[in-house]
A = this chain, B = another copy of it.
């Protein structure tokens, strides 16, 4: 692995474990047994490291994992799989999401990139919901679409932060992630048409089972 990539990977780990606020570029360099000067050869400062993490990893992943709407995948599964993927990404880069408004305020380049990715995601979720309505899988009023997209994205983005603030001790493991997907299914359930409800409930049972399994392996 190249030094630049080592710095990025170590930063993700340290930020997640210790909180971004508590980790300096000196800590990162010490962790990798490289000199601070070597780190500064690759990155201007900590903000630059965080920007690179988002640009090269988190943001790109969010855009790349968007499932293609295909005839092979059931349309309802397409949105569930996407929500699933997004929750996995927020867990992988959780330091980023637990501090999001503050990090964006400190870093205009990061904000610009983040907003750009968010708008692309909003467009895609919106298209996906519209195509689910066209196929008579879910039903909603036109004027609800924008809010539904916001609500799904809000839950995607902040579910982990919410979870982390609900108890004295919070261990982050797969059960947390399955709980997040279950929240999305609860949101979609009352919008689901009668014909498609069995499919949604099947997905819910599956994630419920995965959640139980993840709990018991902790």
Contact = CB atoms under 8 A, between A and B. Distances in A.
A85 interface: no
The contact size tier of chain A is 35 or more
User: How many copies of this protein are present in the complex?
Assistant: 2
A150 interface: yes
B98 A165 contact: no
Contacts of A161: 100-101, 158, 161
A148 interface: yes
* Most chain B beta-carbon neighbours within 10 Å: one of A101, A106, A155: A101
Nearest to A157: B162
A150 to B, nearest CB: 7
Nearest to A18: B105
Interface of A: 19, 21, 98-102, 104-106, 111-112, 114-115, 118, 140, 144, 147-148, 150-151, 153-155, 157-159, 161-162, 164-168, 182-183, 186-187, 189-191
